[in-house]
Amino acid sequence: MPSISDLSATTVLTREVLEDIRNRAPGFDQRNEFFSDDLEVLKSIGYLAPRSLSQMVYDQRLLAAHAPATALGVGMHLTWMGVARDMVASGHDHLQWVLDEGKAGELFAFGVSERGNDRVLSDSLTEVRRTPDGYEFFGTKIFVSTSPAWTRMSVLGKMGEEIVHGFISRDQPGWSQTKDWDTLGMRATQSYTTELDGVVVTPERVARVLPVGANRDPFTVAIFQNFLLLVSSVYAGIADRALELAVDAAIEKKSALAGGTAHAEDPDIRWRAADAAIGLDALTPQLETYASWVDKSMTKPETWFRLLSGVKHQSVETSRRVVDQAMRIVGGSGYRNGHELSRLQRDVLAGIYHPSDTEAVHHTVAFDLFGF
């Protein structure tokens, strides 16, 4: 991953913007507060606008190295930009409005997750009723990131044997949220529980109606490939920063036991840093390659879902290992609440809860291997 000084000319994230965002991150975390200041800055520089998946993966990894929760929250919006881009590129232009509104500054959120529903996109506990005005939704969504600020939210629900996907606007009646986000990490995402009590998705805001169950519809594929690669990039960014902090600490700290030499000369410290870097080196080509396949509209292999869920799993687990090695290299100072590495340790744990979780990934791969 290039350093800040090697940024691609196509990114809108400047050194000054990133440093300001990093400086604000501890306060948002300590106060359990939404990243509103970051959001306004990101809007002003065009960060919410749709662009290639490769560019978004690069940008999100870089942003996450400075403020993981900000990157994770904005990543939900960018996922919808990617989905709409992929759909329009494949001839499904009914989602062009999503791209247009994203360019205009609307903030899109995900209202998908439900307590007790581990089938995610293929089923729903939310009830949908057809009405003359469209589709009414009744149910509870959890982990709705950017809850204080979204202006458009995706929803899905079940109507008979069909899953209805659509979008609602913040100014519509029929929904409410509970400010219940008080978590170990990723605190600034402010991902509230959201109640749908008859909110209507109008016909022009319906994204897709699909049968209950797993499928390879272009809409489903687009969600998977954008969500999983963008989430993966966030955790890769956390690992980038953890390794950077560890290397800096090892160079700076001296060992009395070793006669005042830098910790960076200790073979054990060097092995830990190298082990962390090796894991990241293996992850980077996967992210870059898969994103480029999407951008080039290449024919995906039959194992595409396996590869996507696998890279998300690898990204999270690699990041957890890198942060752990960094904590051991930095030593006791990294355990203090005021140390950036302490926050990264808490933030990285959120990765195990995003779809696809560890059990789902292994199920997908085993099914692919054995055929059942």
CATH number at residue 334: 1.20.140.10
Same domain, 148 and 193: yes
Q: Write out pLDDT tens, residues 287-334.
A: 999 999 999 988 889 999 999 999 999 999 999 999 999 999 999 999
pLDDT of residue 254: 79
Same domain, 306 and 286: yes
- Is the pLDDT confidence value at 13 over 60? yes
Same domain, 153 and 87: no
pLDDT of residue 5: 40
Cα–Cα distance for residue pair 61/341, rounded to 1 Å: 17
Q: Of 293, 279, 135, 281, which Cα lies nearest the Cα of 228?
A: 293
Number of domains comprising the chain: 3
What burial class does residue 263 get, using C-beta atoms within 10 Å of its C-beta: 0-12 exposed, 13-18 middle, 19+ buried?
buried
Cα–Cα distance for residue pair 212/145, rounded to 1 Å: 25
- Which conformational region is residue 186 in: left (phi greater than 0), alpha (psi within -120 to 50 degrees), or beta? left
- pLDDT band, very low/low/confident/very high, at 3 (cuts 50, 70, 90): very low
Average pLDDT, the chain: 95
Last residue of a domain, one of 178, 211, 244: 211
Q: Write out pLDDT tens, residues 122-172.
A: 999 999 999 999 999 999 999 999 999 999 999 999 999 999 999 999 999
Same domain, 20 and 96: yes
Same domain, 135 and 241: no
- Is the pLDDT confidence value at 99 over 50? yes
The mean pLDDT of 22-51, rounded to a whole number, is 98
- pLDDT band, very low/low/confident/very high, at 4 (cuts 50, 70, 90): very low
Residue 132 structure tokens: 């003359």
- Is the pLDDT confidence value at 1 over 50? no
Instruction: Please tell me the least confidently modeled range out of 45-54, 70-79, 128-137, 262-271.
Output: 262-271
Same domain, 228 and 359: yes
Give the range of the structural domain holding residue 194, as residue numbers without chain letter: 108-211
pLDDT of residue 255: 77
Same domain, 247 and 365: yes
pLDDT of residue 259: 74
Last residue of a domain, one of 211, 234, 252: 211
Residue 195 structure tokens: 């109640």
Q: What does pTM read for this prediction?
A: 0.95
Element (H, E) at 372: none
pLDDT of residue 268: 95
- Is the pLDDT confidence value at 174 over 60? yes
Last residue of a domain, one of 196, 211, 226: 211
Beta bridge partners of 254: 262
- pLDDT band, very low/low/confident/very high, at 7 (cuts 50, 70, 90): very low
Same domain, 181 and 205: yes
